[in-house]
Structure 1
Amino acid sequence: MKLAIFASGQGSNFSAIVKAIKDGKIKVGLVVLVCDKPEARVISRAKKAKTAVILVKREDFSGRAEFEAAIIQRLKSYKIGLICLAGFMRMLSPGFVRKYHNRIMNIHPSLLPAFKGSHAIKDALDAAVPFTGVTVHFVDEEMDHGPVILQQKVRITSKDTLASLEKRIHSVEHKLYPRAIRFFCEGKIKVRGRKVEISNP
């Protein structure tokens, strides 16, 4: 199994996945990082991990179709079995998602379907809910919507700030994402409609 990670930012989940692979917790080959931001810190993390980098800037293309076609073309030689989105700040088109049907995972900092979008942690804090969490899900044609693979609660306390809650959520992300990837690579995941079944987790 060969893995590609798509990321646009700091890359903390990228590093967590790399560590899990190096520690032998996931039997997968991390072969390439796909990034759309040349200034993203994740690129330096990838180089340190001796991982190939595909840099594809959206502004170099006339539209999303050309942008995604370039990514697909450059991924061909890697024979990717699984794509993991880790802070990739681009919505993938229905055509791209269909090409990799149930082979694209995303991690989101809430208990979906609650608090979708890019401000999920702040939205949960502002809503004064007693807990939020982390979701790993397959990507479908809608934003933050695909079949849920794993979820874990994170309690919100009265003393929480955005920074403190982010820190706890990221800590959970760094454990939950590698676990979901491991289940996929071990063939333990079956998708039936919107329901994900995991055998012998």
Structure 2
Amino acid sequence: MSLALGVLVSGSGSNLQAILDRVREGSLDADIRVVIANRADALGLERAREAGIPTACVLHADFPRREDFDRELVRLLRQAGVEWVALAGFMRILTPEFLTPFAGRVVNIHPALLPACAGLHAQRQQAEHGVRLAGCTVHFVDEQMDHGPIVIQAAVPAFADDDEASLGARILDMEHRIYPQALQWIAEGRVRVNGRQVVVNGVARTFTGPHWTNPPLEPPFDR
């Protein structure tokens, strides 16, 4: 069953592009109904337009309260027939006005191995702390920042001479793999949330390659 998906962006939209690419090649069964940005200069809007996806720009500064902004997002997503929402570099904390209508159907990608290094500049946090394994996380969104149940994580090596940019590039490569994979598992109806535990039906327990993900990636997302 195709995933009726809305994507929220604030910046370059590289994860949006990874999703668009997987949809185009047929490995991600999703119908992206609309891409919405909260910044007029978000490159993600241009990526969506080039792919023929409807777009909207909703400036959060135009709304006196977060709840009013979130209510407008919900209106636009519902108008587009969206059932699931993917946050792809969307730099706003969502309120219950948004999360209640889409309860259990909002996912996010974060460039760290949560619960470590939540919040902004996660790549910098990891580099400055001197971690030896960095990574990224796809998780369900709840009312706390970078907190909801975890679907999949990927670990990448971190080196003593890494800075935010070099480590961030290594992490980003894996973001582009695990986010479409997580969305495909959701589209296939294989994901079940039990408290803080997310069960993905039918996944293997074998790990190969220089980068680890848990659960393991499946073809074609493993390349």
Q: TM-score, normalised by structure 2?
A: 0.88
Question: How far off its partner does 1:101 sit?
Answer: 1.2
Question: How far off its partner does 1:175 sit?
Answer: 0.4
State the distance in 2 between where 1:161 and 1:57 align.
32
Of 56, 65, 70, the match for 2:58 = 56
CA RMSD between the two structures: 1.0
Cα offsets for 1:27-64 (capped at 9, x unmatched): 11011101010011111111111110011111222211
Runs of 4+ in 1 over 2 A off after TM superposition: none
1:45 paired residue number: 47
Aligned AA for 1:16? A
Q: Percent identity?
A: 37
2:199 paired residue number: 197
Question: Is 2:110 the counterpart of 1:108?
Answer: yes
Counterpart contact for 1:2–1:78, Cα < 8 Å: no
2:221 paired residue number: none
Cα offsets for 1:150-175 (capped at 9, x unmatched): 00111101232221111111100000
Of 17, 30, 33, the match for 1:28 = 30
Cα offsets for 1:96-131 (capped at 9, x unmatched): 212211100000011000000111110111111111
Question: Is 2:27 the counterpart of 1:14?
Answer: no
State the distance in 1 between where 2:128 and 2:78 align.
43
State the distance in 2 between where 1:154 and 1:76 align.
37
Question: Is 2:65 the counterpart of 1:76?
Answer: no
Of 66, 69, 80, the match for 2:68 = 66
1:151 paired residue number: 153
Counterpart contact for 2:73–2:98, Cα < 8 Å: no
Q: TM-score, normalised by structure 1?
A: 0.97
Aligned AA for 1:79? G
Counterpart contact for 2:109–2:138, Cα < 8 Å: yes
2:123 paired residue number: 121
Aligned AA for 2:76? R
1:183 paired residue number: 185
1:160 paired residue number: 162
State the distance in 2 between where 1:59 and 1:141 align.
21
Cα offsets for 1:4-46 (capped at 9, x unmatched): 1100000100100000001111111011101010011111111
Counterpart contact for 2:33–2:81, Cα < 8 Å: no
Aligned AA for 1:51? I
Question: How far off its partner does 1:95 sit?
Answer: 3.1
Aligned AA for 2:17? S
Question: Is 2:117 the counterpart of 1:85?
Answer: no
**Which has a greater percent of helix?**
1
Counterpart contact for 1:113–1:144, Cα < 8 Å: yes
State the distance in 1 between where 2:160 and 2:64 align.
47
